[in-house]
């Protein structure tokens, strides 16, 4: 089938390459000319395992090409996936729908009869119905459906090729049939295919992200209680998660969630619920957000304590800039938020990250960056572990002790063997582990933090 994918960011470029991999003929469209020029030479705009090879193959085999023209997309295909951003509005908590709206408005006059627009972006409930009304004023021969995306960054290609479920919100049998046809290899392989009303599909996405964010804030709330009582949150999470009804996933305590999705999605969901008069039902999301942000402040406070009560004139080494390991994405990165706050309080802050330095530098030019862990740690008064890249587990604490000025470490991601760091002479602190002697490292979560 011929398909266009509009918006070639984290979701769109992976979706386009995976659809081409399924055997479709795909045109990727973006307004970013430099991005389209690079993609046309099979150069990926993001770091995502497996993406470079997939792009190279599908572009070489001419099943995937790129353009900046929506009119060309409308002539080329009758199915158009919309994967543009829905960030938080600059002045409030709600989703900024201007990019999605612009795509629908701009492509509508060019659509061939029988076209299907399929939204993949995360949107407020009611968006499909609102856009369908808008579409009606331009064309009576086309429809709109919603097919939310559940991929995780760092696993985007895997999650797109092997989704746990496909969710489609449709208003007609032909729209459902077309989506089943597009995803046929996956459905035939046993991936559950849920067809429902568009409003339910939109809410499935909001509910899934809200639940996961709530789980993380729950365990971080427990971390605060542990710290105040001398208990150990890593041991607690291990024991609580062993209950199969609760599970270990997304129960990894620490600095909390960031990224381009959880923070803005829970705020947008709460804002939309308030707009339609059911705000009380999800008022708890405000607390989920507050608990999450509080972990960043707690991290700064503990680090300040480790350097004697003030950051002025101190050197701080930061391990990690990405919002999570396995990604070069620094959007709403908790690590960079903490690093920038400490810099504002007067410290010199040197940040290491294996993939995200180039993305971080333009956003936080006041921080220093390096690709060498020892350089980041030279003469440091404290070392902060803020993103759990697996390679940080392999650092030799004894080797690094000679590089720093004072051997202080704060593990805000519970990824290090703190007993080994302590034996090598370091003063160690970790969120949610006030005085515990049992400083085992947490097992890496089998999803995001792996
Ligand atoms: P992104 O910012 O990485 O990419 C968006 C792309 O859309 C950019 O390349 C931008 O240039 C392009 N764009 C903007 N306006 C356009 C227009 N009028 N025509 C063509 N292209 C246009 O965003 P993303 O992270 O891929 O997220 C996209 C959507 O998917 C969001 O709603 C997000 O919440 C949702 N989502 C993201 C993820 C994720 O892991 N990143 C996962 C699931 C869902
Ligand atoms: C998340 C969801 O997992 C995806 O299903 C969803 O499609 C996506 O949001 C989205 O809608 O954009 P992603 O943001 O890529 O995916 O990353 P996650 O692996 O979910 O991690 C999110 C944040 O939570 C990271 O900052 C991570 O460090 C943090 N986290 C995760 C924890 O603090 N503890 C955990 O136990 C798990």
* Ligand 2 center from residue 448 Cα (angstroms): 6
CA of 13, closest atom in ligand 1: 26
| Ligand 2 atom nearest 448 alpha carbon | 19
Catalytic-role residue among 18, 261, 377, 446: 261
Q: What is the pLDDT of residue 137?
A: 82
431 pocket-lining for ligand 2 (C-beta < 6 Å):
no
Q: What pLDDT sits at residue 194?
A: 98
pLDDT of residue 439: 54
Residue 440 has a pLDDT of 54
83 is catalytic: no
Where are the domains positioned within the chain?
2-196, 231-430
Question: What CATH architecture does domain 231-430 belong to?
Answer: 3-Layer(aba) Sandwich (3.40)
Top-tier CATH class for 2-196:
alpha beta
Point out the ligand 2 atom lying closest to the alpha carbon of residue 254. Answer: 33
Q: Which of 366, 375, 363, 381 is nearest to 426 (CA)?
A: 381
- The torsion of the CA quartet 318, 324, 325, 327, rounded to 10 degrees, works out to -110
**What is the model's pLDDT at position 47?**
87
Q: What is the pTM of this model?
A: 0.95
- How close is the Cα of 177 to the center of ligand 1, in Å? 26
Pocket of ligand 1 (CB under 6 A): 6-12, 29-32, 35, 83-86, 99, 102-103, 121-122, 149, 151, 153, 260-261
* pLDDT value of position 186: 97
CA distance 349 to 326: 23
Each residue's pLDDT expressed in tens, for the chain with a length of 450 residues = 999 999 999 999 999 999 999 999 999 999 999 999 999 999 999 989 999 999 999 999 999 999 999 999 999 999 999 999 999 999 999 999 999 999 999 999 999 999 999 999 999 999 999 999 999 887 768 999 999 999 999 999 999 999 999 999 999 999 999 999 999 999 999 999 999 999 999 999 999 999 999 999 999 999 999 999 999 999 999 999 999 999 999 999 999 999 999 999 999 999 999 999 999 999 999 999 999 999 999 999 999 999 999 999 999 999 999 999 999 999 999 999 999 999 999 999 999 999 999 999 999 999 999 999 999 999 999 999 999 999 999 999 999 999 999 999 999 999 999 999 999 999 999 999 865 455 555 554 433 333
Same CATH fold assignment for domains 2-196 and 231-430? yes
Tell me how far the alpha carbon of residue 30 lies from the centroid of ligand 2, in angstroms: 25
CB of 389 within 6 A of ligand 2: the answer is no
Per-residue HEC secondary structure of the chain comes to: CEEEEECCCHHHHHHHHHHHHCCCEEEEECCCHHHHHHHHCCCCCCCCCCHHHHHHHHHHCCCEEEECCHHHHHHHCCEEEECCCCCECCCCCCECCHHHHHHHHHHHHHCCCCCEEEECCCCCCCHHHHHHHHHHCCCCCCEEEECCCCCCCCCHHHHHHCCCCEEEECCCHHHHHHHHHHCHHHHHCCCCEEEECHHHHHHHHHHHHHHHHHHHHHHHHHHHHHHHHCCEHHHHHHHHHCCCCCCCCCCCCCCCCCCCCHHHHHHHHHHHHHHCCCHHHHCHHHHHHHHHHHHHHHHHHHHHHHCCCCCCCCEEEEECCCCCCCCCCCCCCHHHHHHHHHHHCCCEEEEECCCCHHHHHHHCCCCEEECCHHHHHCCCCEEEECCCCHHHHHCCHHHHHCCCCCCEEEECCCCCCHHHHHHCCCEEEECCECCCCCCCCCCCCCCCCC
Is any ligand 2 atom within 6 A of the Cβ of residue 448?
Answer: yes
User: 273 C-alpha vs ligand 1 centroid, how far in Å?
Assistant: 23
pLDDT at residue 436 in the model: 46
Give the atom of ligand 1 at the shortest distance from the alpha carbon of 121.
Answer: 32
């Amino acid at each position: 089938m011929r398909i266009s994918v509009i918006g070639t960011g984290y979701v769109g470029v992976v979706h386009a390459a995976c659809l081409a991999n399924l055997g479709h003929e795909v045109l990727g469209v973006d307004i970013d000319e430099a991005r389209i020029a690079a993609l046309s030479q099979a150069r990926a705009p993001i770091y995502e395992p497996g993406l470079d090879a997939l792009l190279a193959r599908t572009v070489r085999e001419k099943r995937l090409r790129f353009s900046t023209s929506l009119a060309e997309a409308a002539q080329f295909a009758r199915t158009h996936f919309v994967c543009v951003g829905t960030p938080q509005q600059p002045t409030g908590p709600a989703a900024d729908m201007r990019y999605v709206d612009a795509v629908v408005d701009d492509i509508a006059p060019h659509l061939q009869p029988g076209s299907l627009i399929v939204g993949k972006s995360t949107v407020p409930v009611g968006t499909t119905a609102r856009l369908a009304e808008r579409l009606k004023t331009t064309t009576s021969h086309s429809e709109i459906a919603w097919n939310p995306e559940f991929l995780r960054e760092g696993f985007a290609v895997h999650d797109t090729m092997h989704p746990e479920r496909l969710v489609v919100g449709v208003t007609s049998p032909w729209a459902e049939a077309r989506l089943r046809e597009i995803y046929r290899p996956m459905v035939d392989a046993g991936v559950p295919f849920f067809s429902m009303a568009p409003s339910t599909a939109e809410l499935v996405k909001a509910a899934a992200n809200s639940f996961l964010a709530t789980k993380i804030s729950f365990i971080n709330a427990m971390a605060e209680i542990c710290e105040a009582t001398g208990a150990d949150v890593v041991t607690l999470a291990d024991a609580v998660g062993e209950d199969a009804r609760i599970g270990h996933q997304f129960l990894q305590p620490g600095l909390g969630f960031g990224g381009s999705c959880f923070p803005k999605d829970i705020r947008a969901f709460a804002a939309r619920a308030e707009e339609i008069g059911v705000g009380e039902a999800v008022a708890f999301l405000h607390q989920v957000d507050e608990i999450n942000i509080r972990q960043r402040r707690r991290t700064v406070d503990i680090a300040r304590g480790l350097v004697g009560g003030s950051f002025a004139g101190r050197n701080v080494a930061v391990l990690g800039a990405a919002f999570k390991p396995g990604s070069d994405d620094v959007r709403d990165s908790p690590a960079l938020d903490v690093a920038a706050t400490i810099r504002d309080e007067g410290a010199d802050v040197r940040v290491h990250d294996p993939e995200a330095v180039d993305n971080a530098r333009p956003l936080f030019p006041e921080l220093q960056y390096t690709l060498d862990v020892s350089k980041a740690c030279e003469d440091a008064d404290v070392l902060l572990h803020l993103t759990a890249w697996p390679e940080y587990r392999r650092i030799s604490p004894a080797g690094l002790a000679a590089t720093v000025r004072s051997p202080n470490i704060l593990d805000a991601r519970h990824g290090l063997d703190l007993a080994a760091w302590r034996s090598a002479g370091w003063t160690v602190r970790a969120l949610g582990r006030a005085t515990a002697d049992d400083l085992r490292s947490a097992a890496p979560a089998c999803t995001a933090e792996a």
